[in-house]
Each structure stands twice: as C-alpha cells, then as structure tokens.
Structure 1
Amino acid sequence: MELIVARNREGLLKARTGGEVALVPTMGALHEGHRSLIRLARTRADQVVVSIFVNPLQFGPTEDFSRYPRTFDADLEVCRAEGVDVVFHPSAEDIYLPDRQVSVHSGRMGEIVEGAARPGHFDGVLTVVLKLFNLVQPHVAIFGQKDAQQLAMIRRMVADLDVPVEIVGAPTVREPDGLALSSRNRYLTAEDRQVALALSRALHKGAAEPTPSRIRAAAREILDAAGPRLFVDYLVLVDPATFAEVGESHAGPAVLAVAATVGTTRLIDNVTLTLNPA
C-alpha cells in the first residue's frame, strides 16, 4: 500500500481504512530510535500513523525551535521503509487556531525536574499530544522511554482526562558506545560527543549502587569528572509515576534521570531501576 501524507483533519479521515490505529508522535529527524517505535506500533494495530510536527508550544524563547532539524524528505523514506501507512504532517496553522485560547495545563508535575528547567514545556507537549489524539483518534500511542517525564505526564493526562488511548512506552535505543539516540546528537562535535558519553556512564554507574544516596553520589562523580564542557541541569532519582524525588526508604521502581548541555547541545537520558531496601 502506498504511503499517504495527510496534512489536516480531512486528509486523516480519507486515510482511515478501519481497524485499530497506532500513533507514533514525532518531531521528525527520524533515527533508529523512531524506527523502533514504528516497529512496535506495527505489532499493536492494523494501521500505523506517524505524525511529524515540530511543535512551537513546547519550545521556550531561548530554545532551539528554529534550529531543530527538519528533514521531511528523509523522514518519508524512513516511514516507507518501515511500512508506515499514514504520515500526518500538518503546519502550525493546521494545528493551532490564530486566536487559540485553551491549552492543557500540566499542573505541579509539569513544573518539576524537566519542567523546572523548561517552564511551560509540558503545557506545550500535552496540548499538542491531546490535539493529535483528537485528530488521529488512535487506539494506542507509542512514546520513547528516553523522554521519561514526558511519558509519565502523558499517562497522567490520559488518566485524568479519560482519554481513550492506550499509552505504550518503548525502551531507549542507544549507540554502541551507550549514547542515547536523539535528533539533537547531530549537533555534537566529535569532542562534544565524547564528553556526552558521561551521561550514560553516570547512569550506568549509579544504577549499580544499592541505595538512593549512593546511586546519586556515584552518578554525580562521573558527571563532575567530565570537565567544563558538560553543564548539568539536573541529576535526580525519582518515582516513575510522579517524578517526585525518592527517599532512602523507597522500594520499587525508580528513574535515575539527567539533563545536561554539552557545548551548545542539551541532552537528556535516564535509566529505570528497582530499589530493594534492606
């Protein structure tokens, strides 16, 4: 079946073929991590829709909206190779009314960790995701675990607003040296890329420790040794559902998450682990 490119609600309606629909929301610049999401989506539904939309609402005034990579022709080839049925590629005007007034507020959970570093970011994320859900009407949506707080926020929104979409998290895909795949990796110089490896090394080192204090200390040691080209925004050990910091007595799943700027490129990464206090 030929790949269909839809640019608005009418195009999406024409592309519907019946059966269950899986949505993979992206901002384009597709890489192997996105391919893994698409492959998972293919196992979950009859029709796979990939959205490609660089969402202006989730970028702050000092962030890289204009610089964010836009590689639509190459992205289409990825989608064709992976057997995607529909690519939804709207313009900002197709998504947002010029006099838009109503948005999703992410609440307290959207103001901590990544939300504290990027005020308003999760309001923009949740607003566009809810709009995509309403436009595409998927049965299931696939998101990467690399954006762990985003995944937790979307699950919270779906639960709080009774949105009839199943949310599935997919494992982070990494380069052989451990660097988490990201569309922003292309901005790293060769030197920066070597420095950036400190993020995955710190997470790996921390995850091997038994207690929250030792986990944080071991990870911080690696980050501190990375040198002045690595500026750490945060290193946190949090509950995966709420992103609240966990204490020494915490038992069960936790997320060790880091965000840092390497040179001029901001990167995030995380690992999920299980704490078993004595």
Structure 2
Amino acid sequence: MSVPIVRTVAELRANVADWRREGSRIAVIPTMGALHEGHLSLVRAALEKADRVIVTLFVNPKQFNNAGDLAAYPRTEEADAGKLAPLGAHLLYAPDVHEMYPNGFATTVTVSGVSDGLCGAFRRGHFDGVATVVAKLLLQTGADLAFFGEKDFQQLHIVRRMAKDLDIPIDIVPCPTVRELDGLALSSRNVRLSPREREVAPKLASALFNAAERIAGGVPVDEVLAGAWSAIIEAGYSRVEYLEMRADEDLAPMHELDRPARLLVAAWLGETRLIDNVKVLSRTSIDNAPGERTKLSVTDATI
C-alpha cells in the first residue's frame, strides 16, 4: 500500500477536479514532513470530516531565519509516505522550491496584529513565510477544510486571520496538542535533543500546567509567571524567550484571568528551541488538568 505522490500544481488540481466531480469533501494538512504522531493525529481527524485528505510536504525556505536550520531540517519523504499510507490519506503533495516559488515570484503575505510578540518578536519574517506558503497551499488544493495543531498556537491564529482576510473559502480546524506520556509536546525538533536533554524537556510542560493551575486558583498572574520562568531555568533550560498569558480568542496580552486564556512559552534547551502552550482552566475543571498532560491533546503540523 502506498500513498500517491504528486509534485506539480497541475497534477494536484487534476486530482482535486476528479474528486469534485464525485462530490467529495476535501481536507488538507500542510506539513514540512518529518511526520510524527502529532501530524498523524491531524490525518485521522481529517479523515473523520472529509472524503479525501491531502497531506502537503514542503520544507519552506521562506520561514527559516537561519540557513543552517534550513539545511539541517530532516527530509524524510519516503518514511513520511510510509506512515501516511496505512491511515488512508489519499494524496501526498510534495512540490519542490521552484514549483512553489518560480522565477520572478514577488509576493509576500503579512498578517499584522496576531503575529506581533511571542514567536513573532524572536523570529523576524518567519510568519510572513508561513502565511505566504499556507495561502498558496490553500489556494492550490482548493480544500474545504485545513487542519492545524494547537501546539503552534500563534501560527494557528495567523492562518485563521489570513484565510478570513483573503476570503479563502476554507474552514480552519484546530486540533489539540499531542504529548508524550511524560508531557512533552510532540515536535520534529525533539529528535535533536540529547538523552540528557530529553529527560529535562518535559519540565517545560510541567511548569506550564502548574502555572495554569495556580492562576486558575487565584494566584496573581505576574507572580505565577515569574515563578514558572525560574522553574524552567532551574530545570535545566538555558534561556526562556517568552512566557506570557494571552487571550485564547485573539492573543491579546492578559494580566488577570477575566476570559479564556493560554499560557505560551518558548525556551532553549541546549541548541534546541522548544515551544508549548496550555489552556488556563476554570476552577471547576482544574481537576482534569493532570489527565490533559498525557492524553492526545499539536505543530511543528508544523508548517
């Protein structure tokens, strides 16, 4: 069993046209490959809501700030196709750089507001690259639904805003973060961790869940975030880029729990940058928090 692979927009659209004649509902999952269980959970979710599922695989140079990072990003197309086939994905779209950005390409999509701060403050130009390539993928596939993981929560907001502002007729479907049993959010970057770093890595999620519980319990937000920042460093992380509480709906900064919220963090463990986020739960649901740490509950679908 294998998943068909197409590499050009013309091939992709020919397949989509055939499906449309059948009356099929189509979903797309944009990825950069190096697929893990987080990505595969998006495929399963898509198969529940659509008749045909396209997974895209494109390592997008426009969203990398560092040429070394781009060169080091894993290219595992054969293995990725092997993971998709048993699930029943219908097509793998794997264009090359020239197909996505032909000679003379001169357009960049920028999404203001929700791209400010957080990762946007530390990865200049990254979200322009994300918005540009996702806009192209949504238009190329013509899908009805697009599935994105909540691990890249700021990216999810940017994609949603971009699709709305550009009148792209597609539903953006968020899917919960998938975690290892010890709480570490799945990411293609996790393979870079040394054995010792892998032992330390789950303490990032632990600090977030503990902070969310304290905030839900009424402890002042600034006090909690300062303590969580220190706990992450004491656990063995070398640097915290940001640790903030933002509104779940629009990513507005929050300093008190007056509406649904998220805690978002980016921190360095050795040479690896990890991100994560958790909901700040209400008092009535806080007893469920430990279970959320280990259940299938994403990104890098990271684009």
Q: Please, what TM-score do these two structures have when normalized by structure 1?
A: 0.94
1:24 aligns with 2:24: no
How many Å apart are 1:161 and its aligned residue?
Answer: 1.8
How many residue pairs match? The answer is 274
Please tell me whether the aligned partners of residues 54 and 91 of structure 2 are also in contact (alpha carbons under 8 angstroms): yes
How many Å apart are 1:84 and its aligned residue?
Answer: 0.4
For the aligned residues, what is the CA RMSD? 1.6
Q: Runs ≥4 in structure 1, deviation > 4 angstroms?
A: none
- The counterpart of 1:137, out of the listed 137, 142, 146, is 142
1:262 aligns with 2:273: no
1:52 equivalent in structure 2? 57
2:228 equivalent in structure 1? 219
1:9 aligns with 2:9: yes
- Percent identity reads 42
Higher share in helix: 2
How many Å apart are 1:270 and its aligned residue?
Answer: 0.6
Whole-Å separation in 1 of the counterparts to 2:108 and 2:180: 36
1:243 aligns with 2:248: no
- The counterpart of 1:272, out of the listed 267, 279, 284, is 279
Give the AA of the match of 1:231: R
How many Å apart are 1:62 and its aligned residue?
Answer: 5.6
Whole-Å separation in 2 of the counterparts to 1:107 and 1:63: 27
Note the alpha carbon deviations across 1:110-146, whole angstroms, 9 max, x for none: 2311100101111000000000011001000000000
Please tell me whether the aligned partners of residues 4 and 15 of structure 1 are also in contact (alpha carbons under 8 angstroms): no
How many Å apart are 1:214 and its aligned residue?
Answer: 4.2
Q: Please, what TM-score do these two structures have when normalized by structure 2?
A: 0.86
Note the alpha carbon deviations across 1:131-189, whole angstroms, 9 max, x for none: 00110010000000000000011111122222111001101111111111101111100
Whole-Å separation in 2 of the counterparts to 1:45 and 1:258: 33
Higher relative contact order (CA 8 A, sep 6+): 2
Runs of 5+ consecutive residues of structure 2 not aligned to the other structure: 284-303
Please tell me whether the aligned partners of residues 249 and 260 of structure 2 are also in contact (alpha carbons under 8 angstroms): no
2:131 equivalent in structure 1? 126
How many Å apart are 1:4 and its aligned residue?
Answer: 1.7
Q: Secondary structure at the match of 2:253?
A: coil
1:105 aligns with 2:113: no
Whole-Å separation in 2 of the counterparts to 1:167 and 1:109: 16
Q: Secondary structure at the match of 2:115?
A: helix
Please tell me whether the aligned partners of residues 49 and 87 of structure 1 are also in contact (alpha carbons under 8 angstroms): yes
1:162 equivalent in structure 2? 167
Whole-Å separation in 1 of the counterparts to 2:137 and 2:128: 14
Whole-Å separation in 2 of the counterparts to 1:87 and 1:58: 21
Whole-Å separation in 1 of the counterparts to 2:52 and 2:168: 20
Give the AA of the match of 1:97: P
Please tell me whether the aligned partners of residues 230 and 263 of structure 1 are also in contact (alpha carbons under 8 angstroms): yes
1:92 equivalent in structure 2? 97
Q: Secondary structure at the match of 1:112?
A: coil
1:176 aligns with 2:198: no
Runs of 5+ consecutive residues of structure 1 not aligned to the other structure: none
Whole-Å separation in 2 of the counterparts to 1:2 and 1:181: 25
2:299 equivalent in structure 1? none
